Amino acid sequence: MAQKKVIVVGAGGAGLTAAIEAAMAGADVTVISKTSAGLGTCTAYGAGFFTLPVCGVTPKEHFAKTIEVGKGINDPSLVRILSEKSEESLKRLAELGVKIEFTRGSANTRSTAPNELMGGAGFVGQLVEIAKSSNVKFIEWTVVTSLDLTKEKISGVSAVDWRTGRTLSLQADAVIIATGGGGQIYRRSDNPSRMTGDGYSLAKRAGLELIDMEFVQFYPIGWAEPGLPVWLADTGLVDHIRITDETGDEFFIKAIKEWGYINGAEANLFARDRCSVLMAKKEEKGPVFAHLEDVSDEKWEDRGLRYSLTIDHRFFDHFRRPVRVSPIQHYMSGGIKIDTGCRTGISGLYACGEATGGVDGANRIGGNAFSNIVTFGIIAGRHAAGDDVWETKFHHEPECCPPVANSEKGTAPSILRSELQKTAWDLLGPVRSEKSIIHAQHKIHDISEMKLMINSPTEMLLALEMKGLTDTAAAVADAALKRKGSLGTHFREND
Ligand SMILES: Cc1cc2nc3c(=O)[nH]c(=O)nc-3n(C[C@H](O)[C@H](O)[C@H](O)COP(=O)(O)OP(=O)(O)OC[C@H]3O[C@@H](n4cnc5c(N)ncnc54)[C@H](O)[C@@H]3O)c2cc1C
């Protein structure tokens, strides 16, 4: 049999794991990414923690908790795979040389992290090395702009090298979408700049179904003080210092205890949805502060405190005072619908990682995303290298992708991006209403119709990303409008 050609779109944890697995199964694999492989990804930016049934936690317990936190709307067949296969998936990577430490119900890759900020950067670095030594080829600095289809199956992808504007058409027997999430639709997000929802857009335009797009996970505490980076602080921060409203009320820790969680660290795993809404509602009345002035010099050395700051503690030398904190977009629970073999509705097209939906339901357990990308990355890679064929079923007729306009009279894409980010934050944030969602739909539509001006490679990249951003924001708004009432991370008022 001829060697199978597999294209993997995305070089984060999901894409790299899939690529390694497909190459090891004998396929000719090419990975395409918008930046240098592994870098600029959520996996690199991740804290590096996996939640999984290991060292005394059973798959049954992990399954039950994942469904409970996801409010029961998760796809149980995908959760079962995660619960039953994540330990063996991580151990497979460990056998290939990836440094992973296992503890009760958890694992981490932080020993290889280059700094406190990028807990997953060492992890992806190791995956890139393993992929290269398995003959995986890389095409970097390149944006996949459409999926190429015949009537029955995937036939390849079209792409643009954004530094030169050169277009590429690449043929493949199988394609794996591992493009991560779309946090950049929001003004406040801890996702890297390239997380623009391209995979959701590619799938949607190819006629595929997206599920659970209304479930955007906001992280409860993010730095919001001028001069500090827009970045998350671990919810466990509340176990070390006071988080208060203007009146000095320690509402956050009180609420967590009332809900039955022992501390912020536990709420971080299981209750990001309620904690973010609590914070957002409190902020409607006035600012919320983290009291860094409380920390004695001795306590400043505490490892737990330093971890929960998430940024190197030296950043805070000039901030030993009350600093503003606010929720921040963190993760997309919804995405491309897949089955347990990571197959989509198009024969030969697979998807894995944050680009997919179904595992998390309405809210994700902290740490489950890292387990997800490895577990489903391996499955996608194995199947793509095999000879799976299935019936192609489009959700709607595939759309032809509009070319990127190149008009001197257009608007700079950075301006439109900011407008979209403000729209999504103000109208589709942690607290939504029917009115805000409809308003968002109109604004997103208007932004998507605007002509773009492209005068530099950076503007070319930003312009190419506008399609992913507007399609993703529209998908979130449409799903949010359809789901009346509140569930998990989707909180609606006045319904
Ligand atoms: C600050 C932070 C901390 C986190 N910590 C944790 C944690 O400790 N534990 C946990 O479980 N989860 C954590 N998460 C979530 C987790 O990091 C992500 O869900 C996960 O890493 C996503 O992996 P991925 O491979 O699906 O996507 P990513 O790692 O984001 O990779 C996406 C890839 O797709 C490429 N791409 C996108 N569009 C295109 C295109 N059109 N053409 C070509 N390439 C494209 C990008 O260039 C990139 O290479 C964290 C997230 C953040 C932001």
Residues 327-349: what's their mean pLDDT?
Answer: 98
Q: Which two tokens stand for residue 233?
A: 């602080």
Rounded to the nearest angstrom, the distance between the alpha carbon of 195 and the centre of ligand 1 is 8
| 391 is a domain residue | no
H helices within 142-271, ranges in order? 198-205, 251-258, 264-270
- Assess whether 93 and 144 both reside in one domain: yes
Ligand 1 atom 4: residue of nearest CA:
46
| 401 is a domain residue | no
Which pLDDT does position 130 carry in this prediction? 98
Reported confidence tier of residue 403, pLDDT bands at 50, 70, 90: low
Which pLDDT does position 247 carry in this prediction? 95
- Assess whether 21 and 162 both reside in one domain: yes
Which pLDDT does position 313 carry in this prediction? 83
- Assess whether 264 and 235 both reside in one domain: yes
User: Of 324, 289, 297, 327, nearest to 313 (Cα)?
Assistant: 297
| 403 is a domain residue | no
Residue from 16, 32, 36, 43 to probe ligand 1 pocket by mutation (most atoms less than 8 Å from CB): 43
- Assess whether 461 and 379 both reside in one domain: no
Ligand 1 lining (C-beta closer than 6 Å): 9-15, 32-35, 40-43, 45-49, 143-144, 178-180, 190-191, 194-195, 198, 232, 330-331, 353-355, 367-370, 373
Residues 65-81: what's their mean pLDDT?
Answer: 98
- The span from the CA of 320 to the CA of 301, in Å, is 14
Residue from 34, 42, 116, 379 to probe ligand 1 pocket by mutation (most atoms less than 8 Å from CB): 42
Q: Report whether 128 contacts 140 (CB < 8 A).
A: no
Residues 44-73: what's their mean pLDDT?
Answer: 97
- Assess whether 310 and 380 both reside in one domain: no
Where residue 346 sits, what CATH number does that domain have? Answer: 3.50.50.60
- The span from the CA of 307 to the CA of 79, in Å, is 29
Q: Report whether 431 contacts 493 (CB < 8 A).
A: yes
Q: Per mean pLDDT, which range of 172-176, 300-304, 404-408, 484-488 is the poorest?
A: 404-408
Residue from 9, 20, 41 to probe ligand 1 pocket by mutation (most atoms less than 8 Å from CB): 41
Choose one of 347, 366, 385: the last residue of a domain.
385
Nearest atom (ligand 1) to Cα of 330:
53
Residues 118-134: what's their mean pLDDT?
Answer: 96
The pLDDT tens digits for 244-290 are: 999 999 999 999 999 999 999 999 999 999 999 999 999 999 999 99
| 302 is a domain residue | yes
| 393 is a domain residue | no
Residue 395, pLDDT > 90, answer no
Where residue 433 sits, what CATH number does that domain have? Answer: 1.20.58.100
Ligand 1 atom 24: residue of nearest CA:
180
Ligand 1 atom 2: residue of nearest CA:
46
User: Of 38, 42, 55, nearest to 136 (Cα)?
Assistant: 38
Average pLDDT along the chain: 95
Nearest atom (ligand 1) to Cα of 159:
42
Residue 413, pLDDT > 60, answer yes
User: Of 180, 162, 437, 212, nearest to 330 (Cα)?
Assistant: 180
Nearest atom (ligand 1) to Cα of 143:
42
Residue 1, pLDDT > 90, answer no
Rounded percentage of the chain residues whose pLDDT exceeds 90: 88
Residue 43, pLDDT > 60, answer yes
Rounded to the nearest angstrom, the distance between the alpha carbon of 389 and the centre of ligand 1 is 28
- Assess whether 205 and 302 both reside in one domain: no
- Assess whether 168 and 244 both reside in one domain: no
The whole domain housing 16 covers 5-214+333-385
Residues 365-379: what's their mean pLDDT?
Answer: 98
Domains contained in the chain, number:
3
Choose one of 314, 329, 344: the last residue of a domain.
329
